Amino acid sequence: MTERIFVSPAKYVQGKNVIEKISEYIDGMGTNALVIADENVWDIVGHSIVKELKNSDITVEEVVFNGEASKGEVQRITDIAKESGSTLVIGVGGGKTLDTIKAVGDEVEAKIVIVPTTASTDAPTSALSVMYSDEGVFEGYRFYKKNPDLVLVDTKVIANAPARFMSSGIADALATWVEARSVIKFGGTTMAGGTTTIAAEAIAEKCEQILFSYGKLAYDSVKAKVVTPALEAVIEANTLLSGLGFESGGLAAAHAIHNGFTALDGDIHHMTHGEKVAFGTLVQLALEDNSKEEIERYIEFYMSLDLPVTLEDIKLKDVSREDIMKVAKAATQEGETIHAGFTVTADDVADAIFAADQYAKSYKESK
């Protein structure tokens, strides 16, 4: 019998203006830090974090993230961390920045602090990274011995990020229970390396409940750039509940299909991770034995958040069966997460992609 495994970060802190207390929360982790952020994030909050660290007599090496969570970028920053003798690494920004700093921390065996500036993915809490080529093509997952030592989520910063990132995060998080319940039913292995725990199942299900209850309010809160109870709840669902839920609950078809889309060229690469996961979730629902009412519940919710629900919405209006088969074959290749929740062929997935597209078009026409 496969062991049940549950993993989590050592500490999760969320609240308004918590970045101002970063020195307090990293006390004892080290006095020689490396901080990475992309150019935009440095201007938004990166320099403020460095100021707080230096005020606490922490030596800081500042690095500009180049934008892709690739082996080359990990090696570049690892070399800087080794040269500077960093024992504490801090990633500030979005999913690819955070995935990169986790890899760097693993390479140099440093304490890892994650500071997300959006609630757009569930990457912050996990002990894994999604790795891409320098051109942005999905290559695989990299797993680590431990989760981050601290995840610090400043809700004021997230409230001031573009609303598109919030809706993308909700879409990514909404896949959590859809995928976990598939893995549970199938008896598949989770990203933590075992079967789903009762705790992970409860967290994944609660994640979906929070999103359907407060997701639209949270989206509107970010449009107004204000922190509200609804926003606080959804940030926690997008980041902590979804992070714990996907890693210890399991991934299935929705994320595998997202990964499959990286096999295509074109404007689809301008879609966010969560936007592609939203469509992938509809495809998983189409693969399963779900009623029209159940599928349309998700379509309606996605549309209320301005998320894509058709192939046209994800810039694939006139896509050929041949190209969709490329997606389907990539989504069902050996080692992909779809096999944790299903026994399916690439042809089954291709059919489900076109079916999901038609279900959404029919729903739109009915409105």
Q: Which residues are catalytic?
A: 172, 255, 258, 273
| Residues near 320 by beta carbon (within 8 Å), at least 6 away in sequence | none
Return the structure tokens found at 264: 């295509």
Whether 136 and 262 have beta carbons less than 8 Å apart is answered as yes
Match 């069966």 to its residue by tokens: 321
Whether 338 and 321 have beta carbons less than 8 Å apart is answered as no
Please tell me the total number of residues recorded for the chain in this structure: 367
Give the whole-angstrom CA distance, residue 324 versus residue 326. 5
Whether 55 and 23 have beta carbons less than 8 Å apart is answered as yes
Match 């101002």 to its residue by tokens: 20
Provide the pairing of β-strand 111-116 with 88-93.
parallel
Whether 284 and 266 have beta carbons less than 8 Å apart is answered as no
299 C-beta neighbours (distance < 10 Å), count: 23
- Select from 107, 180, 113, 114 the least CA-distant residue to 145: 107
Provide the pairing of β-strand 128-132 with 111-116.
unpaired
DSSP 63: E
**Three-state helix/strand/coil letters over 2-36:** CCECCCCCCCEEEECCHHHHHHHHCCCCCCEEEEE
The HSE-up count of residue 365 (CA atoms within 13 Å, CB side) is 7
- Select from 236, 3, 238, 22 the least CA-distant residue to 149: 22
Give the whole-angstrom CA distance, residue 13 versus residue 151. 6
Cα first-last separation, the chain: 49
